[in-house]
Amino acid sequence: MPSFRVIAAACVLPAIIPERAAVSASENSSPATARVTIFRDSPEDTQTRQIKIYLDGQQQGELMYGDSMTLDVVPGAHVLRVDNTWNRKDLAIAVRPGEDFQFVTKSSAGKFVWFLLGFLGAGPMRVSIEPLPSRPLRS
């Protein structure tokens, strides 16, 4: 009879702060900061794979379809990067105190990639990040 050993391993993953918690923290933050919120809820999204979010080269977390993340940032020039492990996009932003930036990120695929996704479960997808007009915060 075969025997099995269970090997436990731990890994550290970046924390994703739920939208409500991030907004609460942001409301208590200094007025000298700004907010950047990234949504991943586009109906054009492939809804597969995670999208990693970076601010100035530091990973802030990962978004799956339907997630969002709010970051408090200091005024000045910053680079937002989204990376779905197939490709990445950088977006340079300049923020002033009290500003509230909102963006949508998505992974998208062409027709051939949909074929690969259907048969292989994976394929090269494009990633994008675009600014949004202001929209109310979720509560």
For the chain of 139 residues, list the mean pLDDT of each consecutive stretch of 10.
36 37 45 91 89 97 97 95 92 92 88 55 75 60
In the chain, domain spans: 19-131
Query: Backbone phi, then psi, for 35, in 5-degree steps?
Result: -115, 140
Which superfamily, per CATH, for 19-131?
Immunoglobulins (2.60.40.10)
Q: Which residue from 137, 16, 139, 127 is spatially nearest to 69, judged by alpha carbons?
A: 16
Does the reported pTM lie above 0.75? no
